[in-house]
Amino acid sequence: EKLPEGAHIAVIGLGRFGGAVAETLLELGYEVLGIDADPRIVQDWSDRLTQVAEADATDEEALRQLGVHEFGRAVVAIGTNLETSVLTVLTLTEIGVPEIWAKATSVKHGKILSSVGADHVVFPESEMGERVGHMISGRMLDYIEFDDGFAIAKVRAPRGAAGRTLADIGLRTKWGVTVVGTKRPGEDFVYARPETVVPDNAVLIVAGDTAKVEAYAAEN
């Protein structure tokens, strides 16, 4: 049975980051070809992915032999060696992979990856560092910032909010943030409606402008 176009994804570099990407894609139902230059890593992954191959991903011929030029998407998860990461993205561009994702370790690294053809560049270390910083200092329980200055955070409900409705506590008017949902520990997430009553010990999922979400969390 043939999978739909794009259901085959190549993950290049099976370190901690690439390994997590590959496992997640597999769980989501994709066919994953893992490629790594290190034979021990290839051995470790051999019975966990759809297919695993030992190859130098900067070698165009090696990638063609593995059929990577026919894949809809590839992820370059080589982080520590800048030259190898850049050459791999360039090779994927040259063999015509339509959608290339790549991990960068610095802003400049990210710019180079984009300039040689990466369509999506991610910065796992710095993004996770920012999140943890917000979680430690900003009194947020979780935090995700999108690249357009928009954030979603899990925060404590304001003091005295328990038993009142979201319309009544008016976080949008007061703080410019929108409540997306409420949650009590161990219970399911409830979608926010104006008439939703804030339970005791509730956490709120709020969304909005990064600065406004931060201001809310700092003051509540």
b/e string for 100-134 if b means 16 or more Cβ within 10 A? bbbbbbeeebbebbbebebeebbbbeeeeeebeeb
- Of the candidate spans 12-20, 146-154, 156-164, 168-176, the one that interacts with ligand ADP by CB under 6 A turns out to be 12-20
- Determine, following the binding rule CB under 6 A, whether residue 36 of this chain makes contact with ligand ADP: yes
Which of 15, 72, 117, 138 forms a contact with ligand ADP (CB under 6 A)? 15
- Of the candidate spans 77-85, 149-157, 161-169, 202-210, the one that interacts with ligand ADP by CB under 6 A turns out to be 77-85
Which of 23, 31, 44, 56 forms a contact with ligand ADP (CB under 6 A)? 56
Could you write out the three-class secondary structure of 197-214? ECCCCCEEEEEEEHHHHH
Residue nearest to ligand ADP (CB): 15
Q: Compute the least distance from the CB of residue 217 to ligand ADP, in Å.
A: 30
d(CA 24, CA 19): 9
Residue 91 CB neighbour total at 10 angstroms: 26
Which of 25, 33, 57, 166 forms a contact with ligand ADP (CB under 6 A)? 57
d(CA 193, CA 197): 9
Which of 3, 6, 24, 38 forms a contact with ligand ADP (CB under 6 A)? 38
d(CA 12, CA 80): 13
Q: Are 207 and 160 contacting, i.e. CB atoms less than 8 angstroms apart?
A: no
- Of the candidate spans 54-62, 66-74, 151-159, 174-182, the one that interacts with ligand ADP by CB under 6 A turns out to be 54-62
Q: Compute the least distance from the CB of residue 90 to ligand ADP, in Å.
A: 12
Q: Compute the least distance from the CB of residue 75 to ligand ADP, in Å.
A: 11
Q: Compute the least distance from the CB of residue 109 to ligand ADP, in Å.
A: 12
- Determine, following the binding rule CB under 6 A, whether residue 13 of this chain makes contact with ligand ADP: yes
Q: What's the distance, CA 11 to chain centroid? A: 15
Q: Are 163 and 197 contacting, i.e. CB atoms less than 8 angstroms apart?
A: yes
Q: Which residues bind ligand ADP (CB under 6 A)?
A: 12-18, 35-38, 41, 56-58, 77-81, 84
